[in-house]
Chains A and B, each alone.
Chain A
């Protein structure tokens, strides 16, 4: 059964730092991996989608990488800002049309 784990569970950094969020999954046979942002009490905003044949995706200050063989993905946030404060969720699909989510990393960027 596929399990998705995110480390760390929470992270607090000063503004301007570059940071890395980690996601690991137990079964490397994934179809794609997606990173989402969730603000408190709000919905899920898609950040980056990496298909299984891809190694990374970039959007602005965000870069996500995927290493299927080791069962890992990282989300790199450059020059963090207070507006980046949110929970970041990693989710994977494995051949069906449902997402399996990790527990998330709660990020706080201090001004």
Chain B
């Protein structure tokens, strides 16, 4: 069964550093998403991306965050200057057509020290 692949599975970074989290969505999917889950809290929506532009973003997704689809297969989330409170599990998801075939990746655990 097709999967959404995220790398790395765990990343440790120093406060103030830039990080890029990578995702390979399912190949025929057109919609891409990032969510995050702070330890012990709800999974929260960050951003959705379609047709090479952001279609929706949450209040969490401020100027420190950006997303990009640099080529035909990768979808990345960049955090420009990490803070301690950015420590969380970040999930990528993709869907074929809107909500159809919505599939989550296994996540990247980001630890900011």
| Chain A interfacial positions (CB closer than 8 Å to B) | 31-32, 34, 36, 41-44, 46, 89, 91, 93, 96-104
A43 interface neighbour in B44, B48, B58, B107, Cβ under 8 Å: B107
Main secondary structure of the interface of B (DSSP, over half): strand
A44 interface neighbour in B58, B91, B98, B109, Cβ under 8 Å: B91
Question: Once the chains bind, are B99 and A43 in contact (CB under 8 Å)?
Answer: no
Question: Once the chains bind, are A98 and B45 in contact (CB under 8 Å)?
Answer: yes
A103 cross-chain contacts in B, Cβ below 8 A: 41-42
Question: Once the chains bind, are A97 and B43 in contact (CB under 8 Å)?
Answer: no
Question: Once the chains bind, are B103 and A98 in contact (CB under 8 Å)?
Answer: no
B50 to A: closest C-beta gap in Å: 8
For the complex of A and B, the 4 pairs showing the least CB-CB separation, nearest first, are A43-B106, A101-B43, A44-B104, A98-B45
Question: Once the chains bind, are A44 and B43 in contact (CB under 8 Å)?
Answer: yes
A54 to B: closest C-beta gap in Å: 14
